[in-house]
Amino acid sequence: MNISFSKHTLANGLDVLLHEDHGCPIVAVNLWYHVGSKNEQPGRTGFAHLFEHLMFEGSQHYDRGYFEPLQGAGATLNGSTNADRTNYWEIVPSGALGLALWMESDRMGYLLPALTEAKFSNQRDVVLNERRQNYENRPYGLAPMALLAALFPPDHPYHWTTIGDIADLQAAQLDDVQAFFRRYYRPANASIAIAGDINREDALGLVRHYFENLDPGEPAGPVRASASLSGDARIRFEDRVELPRLYLAWLTPAMFADGDADLDLATDLLANGKMSRLYRRLVFDERIATDVSASQNSREIAGYTQITATAAPGYALAELERAILEEIARLAQGGPTAEEIERGRVQAESQFMLRLQTVGGFGGKSDQLNAYNTFLGDPAYFDRDLARYQDVTAASLQQAVARYLDPARRVTLSVVPQGRAALAAPGSEPAAPS
């Protein structure tokens, strides 16, 4: 795997990654800030996601909506926030690269002069409404909040979701979020990747022109925290749902750490696709579940594996829990078959290659360059990333499952229809997600 690029670091600390691809007359601009919800503090949550919204509301030298001039030039653009990073991207016709860079540089360097109390209040209301739509008023929508709160202690930066707590967002003041911006949204804490129909020297000259005079700020230091589970935390809550749903979760290695790739393949063979072990047993053979899924959620300082299954009508979650734990034990004791390992490797490679078929957007070469640079300091990690999956063996996967998916150290969450607590997994205590 060889994605050609050059890396430069400006005097103010901004990393610049350049990749030429003349297949189409388009250019991807991809900007990552190394800040997410894990950089927040208890009582001050939701700020990183709030800024994802505020940074589309105009800056000092273009104090209007961010989309109009870029879309008028033929661009597509968006942004996102997660626990570990915030990113913004544009895909523009080759001739509009300067416009995209100017827009990005102005909101990096000059957002705060245009950030009024009215904008702040308006976007905070937008975020609160988004929270209602995506969490509070969505079936099973509060489950992620309950899971994270049970997996990680209250002072751990993964204890809360990226959307933030209602009380924290309502209590936030303009001064609070301005201080958060000054701390994290600076060149020394950012990385920009430009991929597509460019000349590298010309593109670097444009980046220097628009970004090099911006105040560098200070690099954000690493966030350190630890978490552990000493038993089976069994919780439940009632929701406006038709069918009960079971969530099992375990603490696992961080992104790129030993065991991360093994668990990625293990969750695939356990519960993703109709050939997976849990789908065949729960949905096809025994018909006690309507669906089942699993994932290894890799994050920068810790990961967690999650298995989710919805009970079929007439079945309680105890039956699903028993079957899931039996299949995990079977995998931990006997390991995967050679066919399962090979299928997992092929799927991992195909997904890896699929992400690199475009130059930008969510995924694409520019996004992947920025991910490796931000989390590893090494944009050339492509071949070693893919090799992690090719190096997984039946023995290493079996050992990872036995070590990390320990039934005695997990979170068991039951979400049941209102008034039907008896359908929850046995021994579950009431929980009140917020």
> Is the same domain home to 156 and 236?
no
Query: Which tokens belong to 144?
Result: 């992620």
> Is the same domain home to 189 and 318?
no
- DSSP label at 221? P
Cα-flanking dihedrals φ and ψ of residue 25, to 5°? -80, 55
Q: Tell me the pLDDT band of 220, cut-offs 50, 70 and 90.
A: confident
Instruction: Give the chain's end-to-end CA distance (angstroms, integer).
Output: 44
> Is the same domain home to 190 and 307?
no
Is residue 28 within 8 Å of 196, Cβ to Cβ?
A: yes
> Is the same domain home to 138 and 40?
yes
Is residue 323 within 8 Å of 315, Cβ to Cβ?
A: no
Q: How many domains does the chain have?
A: 2
Domain coverage including residue 132 = 6-211
Closest to 301 measured CA to CA, from 362, 241, 249, 226: 226
> Is the same domain home to 155 and 258?
no
1 domain-assigned: no
Mean pLDDT, the chain, rounded, equals 96
Q: Which amino acid is at 342?
A: E
pLDDT at 268 over 90: yes
The percent of residues above 90 in pLDDT, for the chain, comes to 96
Q: What is the mean pLDDT of residues 244-271?
A: 97
pTM over 0.85: yes
Domain of 162, CATH number, reads 3.30.830.10
Could you tell me which residues come within 8 angstroms of residue 55 by beta carbon, excluding any fewer than 6 positions away? 66, 79, 88, 107, 111, 185
pLDDT at 249 over 80: yes
Judged by DSSP in three states, 66 sits in coil
Q: What is the mean pLDDT of residues 45-70?
A: 94
Q: Which amino acid is at 402?
A: A
pLDDT in tens, 103-121: 999 999 999 999 999 999 9
